[in-house]
Amino acid sequence: MLREPELTLGVEKEYLLVDRQTRDLVADPPASLMAECEKRLGARVAPEFLRSQIEVGTGVCASVAQARAELEELRATVAEVAAGYDLAPIAASCHPFASWDQQVHTPKERYDGLLRDMAGAARRLLICGMHVHAGIGDEDLRIDLMNQVSYFLPHLLALSTSSPFWRGGDTGMMSYRLTVFDGLPRTGLPDRFTSAAEYERLVSQMVDTGLIKDATRIWWDIRPSARFPTLEMRIPDVCTRLDDCLTITALYQCILSMLYRLRKDNQRWRLYPMVLIQENRWLAQRYGSESEMGDFGRGERVPMAELVEEIIELVREDAERLDCVAEVEHTRSIIRRGTSAHRQLHVYNAALKYGADEADALKAVVDMLCEETVLGTGASV
């Protein structure tokens, strides 16, 4: 008998550490900073690929409310420790002006191997992501829901975008992070699988032929976690505001719940060709929450604002059951005032308008990111 998914949650976020005076990344922060964070947060904090990054992750959360409480604690602790070194964390998937070739990677066997195997593609990885785990104990159900929920991944990306700048330039994209990350192999949208056994055969074939060491080297936008009985969504940018992060988390949980509900009624979400979903993924990268995405059932492009209303109604029953209606409905606020990427561009362009040079305008963006990251909110723009 099919086991109902637990849909417990775990959220991982990566922060960048900036110098409060220069607003640039601190390429080699004191080792004591990480040691103090680990002393206070234990295994819920860890170094990342670059020394200028720090990762936090919740434990297993029974609800979005519990995830919120843990993320608030993690954010506040990292910010407090960093402040003691005149540093600050920012939740953005790319720093507005830092250069990847000035960064120092964390000396760790896994990261040493990544640099060795991926060469220049890895050296450019000055990017941060947000991963959301949803507990699904049944392995075949995990694969079935992965096949179906892939349709919604571009929508969740569009609502999270926070990386419009790269090395001091406006890229014209809302999520430049994925442009960088897609330079690695085994990224992007996953293949579809008929069962967990088929997925495991693929992993075994890749390991046996020496292509990968293990399944943790598969970096798709969504994947069965190699460490936990979860379906791990990896497509979002890091949300600068905590409320936005919780909305992405709640939407993901509720969409999975909705898809399982359909399955219990002998229904399922239609599986469209991946090339079509890939087009929506690109539109989300390029335009963020202002996208007009393909609605393949209607055969036309539809504004995200309209698609969001449809998703809210699709999952309303699930949001009520999971007690996250407020977080789901907060999606409308993201559409109304834009994502972090929109706010970054607004601050940058406003600074230029009032006479700042490009360097100072970019520093103003960092100041905004520092404030919103630590406080979790900011003035609407």
Question: 340 lies in a domain?
Answer: yes
Question: 182 lies in a domain?
Answer: yes
Question: 140 lies in a domain?
Answer: yes
For 173-205, the pLDDT digits (tens) are 999 999 999 999 999 999 999 999 999 999 999
Residue 127 phi, psi (nearest 5): -140, 155
Question: 55 lies in a domain?
Answer: no
Question: 98 lies in a domain?
Answer: no
For 335-379, the pLDDT digits (tens) are 999 999 999 999 999 999 999 999 999 999 999 999 999 985 544
For 21-50, the pLDDT digits (tens) are 999 999 999 999 999 999 999 999 999 999
Question: 264 lies in a domain?
Answer: yes
Question: 45 lies in a domain?
Answer: no
Distance CA(215)–CA(231), nearest Å, equals 13
CA-closest candidate to residue 41, choices 26, 27, 14, 59:
59
Distance CA(250)–CA(330), nearest Å, equals 10
Distance CA(315)–CA(277), nearest Å, equals 20
In this prediction, residues 42-62 reach a mean pLDDT of 96
Polymer length in residues for the chain: 381
User: What's the domain count of the chain?
Assistant: 1
* CATH code of the domain covering residue 335: 3.30.590.20
pLDDT band at 118 (very low <50, low <70, confident <90, very high): confident
Q: What angle do CA 352, 93, 117 make, to 5 degrees?
A: 130
Distance CA(65)–CA(48), nearest Å, equals 26
| Whole-number average pLDDT of the chain | 95
Question: 359 lies in a domain?
Answer: yes
Q: What is the pTM of this model?
A: 0.96
Whether the predicted pLDDT of 207 surpasses 60: yes
For 276-301, the pLDDT digits (tens) are 999 999 999 999 999 999 999 999 99
Q: How far does CA 48 lie from the centroid of its chain?
A: 15
Domain that holds residue 248: 108-124+133-375
The strand pairing partners of 166, in sequence order, are 169
